[in-house]
Structure 1
Amino acid sequence: MELELLHRRILDSSLMEILVLDKDLNVMEANATLLQVTGKSSEELLGQPVEVVWEVRSIEKVKEDLTRDRTFQGEVVELSLGGDPRAVHYTITPFRNDIGQVAGFSGFGRPITDTDHFERELRQQLEELRKTQGAAMVGLAKLAETRDPETGQHLERMRNYTRLMSEELSTLPEYRLYITDDYIHDIYNSSPLHDIGKVGIPDAILLKPGRLTPQEFEIMKKHAPIGGDALRAADHDLDGESFLTLGKEIAYHHHEKWDGTGYPDGLQGMDIPLSARIVALADVYDALTSKRVYKEAIAHDQARAIIIDSAGSHFAEDVVRAFLKRENDFLKIKDEFRD
C-alpha cells in the first residue's frame, strides 16, 4: 500500500502530463496534471478510450507508430477543460509484460508553447535559407562558367565528387567530429565556387586552345586569389562564418599541393584547408576525364593511375583512399552528368 501511495505521489508531482494506456489504447492511469487540464476525475477517465483525451486525427498518427512497435514523438491535439483543443508534445513508448508482449503504452506530454512554434518556424526558415544559399552559390559559379562553353556539367560533377569523398572521410576517427552533416552540405554547395575568380582572367588566356606560356600561366594562376578575395569580402560583410566560408577556402587553395609546390601560397600538408584538399582531387579528376579546348579526355583508369601516383605529392593520401573507396560512385556520377 505504501508503494502504491508513493507511486501515486510521484506521478502527481510531475508538471508533465503522464498517461498510461493499455494495448487497446484505453486509459489505465492519468496523473493530476492531465486530470486538471482535461477537467475530468480519474473515475471519469479510467477505462475510457483515449478519444476522451485526444482528437481522433491525433490518435491515428499515434497508432501508426505504436502498431509498428515504435516510440511516438510528436504533436497531439488534446481536449482540454471546456472542450478547447490544445497542442501537446507527447512521447509515447510501449511497455511489455513478463513474456515480452506489448502490454500497454506510457506517455509523457508537455504543452507546446509559443516558443516551440517559433523554434519550428525558425528551423523551417533556416532550411529555406540553406536551399536559397545553395542556389545562390551555383548561380555565382555559373557566372564564371559562362566564360568557358566547354565546361558543361563540370559543376554538378564536382559538387557530387566532393560530397562522396567528404562522406567517406567522415567515417574516419580523425574527421568524425569535424565532417558533420552540415559540413557535407556546405562543401557540396560551396565547391562550385572553386573557379569563380576566372571571371577576372582574359578570354585570350582562359579559352586558349593549347598550352599556356609561362607568362600566361602566371596570369591564369591569379584566378585563385581573385576568387578568394571576392568571397572573403562577401563573407566578411555577412559578419562571421557563413555559407561562404568554405567557398573562400576552396577558391583560395584548391590548387595547393600536399608537398607545397602548388599555388597561390605554397601551402603544405595539413596547412591546406581540408575543404581545399578534397576539392583539389575532385577538380583534377574531372579535368582529366573531360574534354577541354586544350586537351582530349582520358579514361577513368588512366586518371585513377595518375591520382594514385600523386598521393603524398599532389594529394593528401587519405583523400586518395576516399576516392578509391568510392570510385564506382564516381563513375556513376560521371555518366549521369556527362557533357
Structure 2
Amino acid sequence: MTGSPFSALDGAVGDPVAEHYGNPVVEQRRLVAGTAVVDLSDRGVVSVTGADRLTWLDSLTTQAVATLAPGVGTELLQLDPNGHVELAAHLIDDGETAWLLTETPAEWVAWLQRMRFRMRVEVADRGDEFATLGTFGAALDGRAAEANGVPLVWVDPWSAPTGHTYATAQPHPGEEWTYREVLVPRTALAEYTDLPVAGTLALEALRIAAWRPRFGREVDERTIPHELDWLRTAVSLGKGCYRGQETIAKVHNLGHPPRRLVMLHLDGSDAVLPPSGAEVEFGGDVAGRVTSSALHHELGPIALAVVKRRTDPAATLGVRVDDTVVAAAQEVAVPDDAGATVEVPRMPRSLARRAAAAAAARPADPPVE
C-alpha cells in the first residue's frame, strides 16, 4: 500500500496515518460534531464471497450472522479453544459479499483459508482496493463505495447493543458513541481530503471515554470477551457451537471473568500519559495494566485498563510511569460480580448429608477386566 494522501496534509504528524494535525483536542470536537473524518487506511479489508459465506462465518465465530441483513453492521470474534480472543473484525454484508474490516487482515485470510474445507466460499484480501475512513456523522454520506447497490458503511452497534452487557452505569457512556467506518476506493482516497480532518489520537480519546474495546489495544493473549464487556456487541449467547463457546457459556452462566475493564481518570498534575502496558498498582501490588490512554477534550487525561477482578472498585489506583506513580480514580466498566447469571439451586444440608452417605455406602465398581 502506498502512503496516504491524508498524511501529506499541512500539520499532519504520524506514520503511516496521521495521529493529529496540530491540535487533537480541537479535532475531537470536530469529530463529535460529525463534520470530520479520520484516516484509517492502514487497516485492512477482507472479503468473503459465495453462497455459504454467512452460515460459514456463523459457525466459526462468536456472532450470529447466518441471517444478517444487507447493510447491517455487526462485529465478531474468533477464539481459541479456551475462549481467548485471537481475532476481531467489523462485519457488513451487501447480499453477495461479506466485508470484514480489521486490524489483522493477513491473519484473518490465513485462518479462513484453512477453515474452508468444502464450503462454497472465496476469501480475499481487498486492502489494495479499499481504504477505511472513520466518522461520527454525515460527513461521508453519499460518498461511500458501493457493492451490489449497498453503501459499504459499517455503523458501530456499541451505542445500541443487542447482546448482554455487564456495565451498570446509567446512562452508559457508549450511548453517545455514534461511530461508523466507511469504505472508499483506495485509488480515490485523495478526493476525500477536502473534508475536515482529525487524527487517530482524537478518535482514541473518544473511544476510551465510551469504554469501547479495540482489538489492537485492549486484547492480549489471555483476554476473554467478558473482561471487556464484549458480549455487548460481539458475542451471541443464543447461537450454536463454535470454538471457545464452552468458556463463553461457563464464565457467563456459572463463573466470573478473572479480570475486568475500567476507565481511569488520571491525575493531570504530572502532565504525563501512561503508555500501553503501564502497570496499574493497588495496595503495593500490580493489579493490571493500562491498555489505552488519551487526553480527552472534556474529561482530561483518561485511560482504559484491565485489572484483576478482586481489585477494590472504589479504590484509587496508581499507574506507574517511569519513576512516577500517577493517581487514578476508577469508573467501573465491568463490575467485579460480572458473570454467574444462572442461579444454581442449593441442596438443603440434610439432603446433602444423605446423598453423601448413600454415595459412601454404595459398593465400588468391579475392576475392569
Q: Which has the higher contact order (CA 8 A, sep 6+)?
A: 2
Could you say which structure has the larger radius of gyration? Answer: 1
Q: Is this a same-fold pair by TM over 0.5?
A: no
TM-score, with length taken from structure 2: 0.22
